[in-house]
Amino acid sequence: MQTRKLGRSGLEVSALGLGCMGISQSYGQPMEKGDAIQFLRDAHEAGITFFDTAEAYGPFTNEEVLGDALRPIRNQVVIATKFGIHIDKDGGKGGVDSRPSHIRAVAEASLKRLRTDHIDILYQHRIDPAVPIEDVAGTVKELIAEGKILHFGMSEAGEESIRRAHAVQPVAVLQSEYSLWWREPEQTILPLLEELGIGFVPFSPLGRGFLTGTINGSTEFDSTDFRNTIPRFAPEARAANQAVIDIIAGIAAEKEATIPQIALAWLLARKPWIVPIPGTTKLHRVKENIRAAEVDLLPDDMTQIDQALAGISIHGERYAAKQTAWVNR
């Protein structure tokens, strides 16, 4: 497995990581714990060294599974988790909370669930408008000084928030959505990250599964699948967005690759400090995704893809209206 360094942080990880949320929530029924543990260990054996989780996934159960699965190989992997989502006593999630006391409490609880003495990357899951970002960065800076956290990350943060946080504690990594059908980060975020030396970890690099080419207008999702609530996954939007898949499929045929491999290779070709974290619960998909690092997209290939997609409008918003308030502050 090829490796990459996340910006100037010096943190080296596998060229593709593994987004672990789907093990516990959002994409149908959660995996059985024993199956999940074996899957995570198999993913590492296949070449993955970078695992992404959060206290909110489950909530809590995702970190617990990773803790059990990765403890025997803890010194061989990089684990990223997150704070900043308000979780009720009954496990309900809603709103944000990045008060310094809450950050500390979450970090301590995550350390226990992950069965480790340090967290490689601690992300602020979403910006909290009620807490100055300087206070957030300062709290993480203290945790880094204590050795409990190694690197500070942010997720779905806007340019101003990143700059202000970075001035207090260098931001090592930004995690935000980025893919062939969501390219907003190219406008201001990618130039900013390059300027500041911050690594970029795109989540949903396969468009929540759409860019695998296995979803169409007639696909039916499990009743618990959150894609049922996303406008971009309404049946009519999926049917209209098939034009994107048709373009990628043509490139894939030329390169003797699969559709998801082209979508991931495109991200890898954008910048050397980009590390996508496609999520899956299937080992054969992990192995397929890993091979995307071997697909060589030349500048002419990238131009061809960009020109072809320029004439296509993506149908449907990426989040329901009530969810958009959480992003890009």
Q: Is residue 326 part of a domain?
A: no
In tens, the pLDDT along 111-152 reads 999 999 999 999 999 999 999 999 999 999 999 999 999 999
Domain carrying residue 151: 3-320
**What's the rounded mean pLDDT across residues 54-59?**
97
Confidence bin at 94 (pLDDT 50/70/90) = confident
Weakest mean pLDDT among 85-99, 127-141, 246-260: 85-99
Q: How far is CA 69 from CA 29, 183, 192, 212, in A?
A: 19, 34, 36, 27
Residue type, position 14, single letter: S
Residues 6+ apart with CB under 8 A from 62: 20, 21, 23, 24, 25, 53, 54
The DSSP bridge partners found for residue 201 are 175
Q: Is residue 194 part of a domain?
A: yes
Look up the pTM and report it: 0.96
| Positions marked active-site | 57
CA distance 232 to 103: 33
Q: What is the pLDDT at residue 328?
A: 52
Q: What is the pLDDT at residue 278?
A: 98
Q: How far is CA 218 from CA 77, 113, 214, 305, 312, in A?
A: 39, 39, 11, 26, 21
- The alpha carbon dihedral of 241, 262, 76, 137 has a sign of negative
CA 231, chain centre distance (Å): 20
Number of structural domains, the chain? 1
* pLDDT at 60 exceeding the cut of 80: yes
Cα angle: 168, vertex 172, 174; to 5 degrees: 105
Residues 6+ apart with CB under 8 A from 251: 262, 301, 304, 305
CA distance 26 to 131: 28
Q: Is residue 329 part of a domain?
A: no
Confidence bin at 101 (pLDDT 50/70/90) = very high
* pLDDT at 247 exceeding the cut of 80: yes
CA 108, chain centre distance (Å): 22
Confidence bin at 321 (pLDDT 50/70/90) = confident
**What's the rounded mean pLDDT across residues 78-82?**
98
Q: Is residue 325 part of a domain?
A: no
Buried b (16+ CB within 10 A) or exposed e, 10-43: ebebbbbbbbbbbbbbebeebbeeeebbebbeeb
Which CATH number covers residue 85?
A: 3.20.20.100
Q: Is residue 137 part of a domain?
A: yes
Q: What is the pLDDT at residue 327?
A: 58
Q: Which of 169, 177, 181 is nearest to 141 (CA)?
A: 169
**Token pair for 214:** 């296995």
